[in-house]
Amino acid sequence: MSIEGSTVVITGGASGIGKGMGERFAAMGANVVIADLNLDGANEVAASIGGTARECDVSSDASVASLVNDTIADTGRIDYFFANAGVGVGGDITASDELWDLSLKVNVMGPVIAARHVVPHMQSNGGGTFVVTASAAGLTTGPVSFNYAVSKHAAVGVAEWLAINHGPTVKVHAICPTIVDTPMAPDFGEVMFQPLSVAEVVDSVVAGLDAGTFIIAPNEQPMAMFLAKAHDYDGFLSNLQHRVQGLGNS
């Protein structure tokens, strides 16, 4: 399916990676819906790309149901859904239940709730593409927050389950970048990789959709580390322990 002429919904589209994808897909001829908790920001992005803004809290079933139903009422279908909204709230071993709740509600239940509403629609329409913005922290845990890393492992798990149980009718992808230069990036503190630009991530998303690969990774390191983990889990842990100690995180 080509992006041109399709209906694309992007959660967390008011900022960062979501905004970058909205701008690129609109330039490619898509009808883009920018959905975000931040309605002013969504309005601004939608106005600049000729798209539609919708207020949505991805952790609320009722809010996502409205987003999906209103979009289908307007356009007749959703071809691409990007479950991209996320929170980078930090936390180490002392992270509170509140921080854990927020990370799990947005980063894990966000894609789960979206899939509940969007995937049956795509299946009855003969297909579609469902994309979860996970993270490299969902493939290999780095020196990012405890609750963030665990929630992103679960986000990859959500995408994997959907791909197995609803593909190939619904194509599912998990975007797994390392640190990206967005307003969220400072939440991650000192990091192991040079930040990627939003444009680099969006380039990789366009290429990954085209190639049909499940994992969309804008740079090589996380996939190399993921493979190393599969081959030698203990070696992988020891290597990362040294790197984390080098950053003074333990």
Ligand X SMILES: NC(=O)c1ccc[n+]([C@@H]2O[C@H](COP(=O)([O-])OP(=O)(O)OC[C@H]3O[C@@H](n4cnc5c(N)ncnc54)[C@H](O)[C@@H]3O)[C@@H](O)[C@H]2O)c1
Buried b (16+ CB within 10 A) or exposed e, 94-128: ebeeebbebbbbbbbbbbbbbbebbbebbeeeeeb
Q: Which of residues 86-115 bind ligand X (CB under 6 A)?
A: 86-88, 106
Strand partners, 7: 31
Chain Cα centroid distance, residue 190: 22
Of the pair 5, 186, the CB lying nearest ligand X is at: 186
The DSSP bridge partners found for residue 175 are 133, 216
Residue whose pair of structure tokens reads 């995937």 in the numeric block: 119
- What is the closest distance, in whole angstroms, from the C-beta atom of residue 129 to ligand X in the complex? 17
The secondary structure element, H or E, covering residue 148 is helix 146-166
Site membership for ligand X, residue 79 (CB under 6 A): no
The reply on whether position 14 binds ligand X by CB under 6 A is: yes
Cα 114 to Cα 165: distance, rounded to the nearest angstrom: 15
Spot the catalytic one: 130, 148, 226, 236: 148
Q: Is 148 a catalytic residue?
A: yes
Question: Is there binding between residue 57 and ligand X (CB under 6 A)?
Answer: yes
Choosing from 9, 22, 36, 99, the residue that interacts with ligand X (CB under 6 A) is 36
Element (H, E) at 29: none
Q: Give the count of beta carbons closer than 10 Å to the beta carbon of residue 131.
A: 24
Nearer to ligand X, 19 or 229 (CB): 19
State which of residues 8, 12, 158, 171 lies at the interface with ligand X (CB under 6 A).
Answer: 12
- Smaller CB distance to ligand X: residue 4 or 40? 40
- Give the count of beta carbons closer than 10 Å to the beta carbon of residue 145: 21
Q: Which CB, 88 or 128, lies closer to ligand X? A: 88
Binding mask 198-237 for ligand X (x = CB under 6 A): ----------------------------------------
* Residues composing the chain: 250
Q: Tell me, by CB under 6 A, how many residues bind ligand X.
A: 30
Measured in degrees and rounded to the nearest 5, phi and psi for residue 209 equal -65, -40
Q: 104 vs 127, which CB is nearer to ligand X?
A: 104
Total Cβ atoms within 10 A of residue 39 = 16
Residues 156 to 195: which contact ligand X by CB under 6 A? 177, 179-180, 182-185
- Residues catalogued as catalytic: 148
Q: Which residues of this chain interact with ligand X, rule CB under 6 A?
A: 11-12, 14-18, 36-38, 41, 56-59, 84-88, 106, 133, 135, 177, 179-180, 182-185
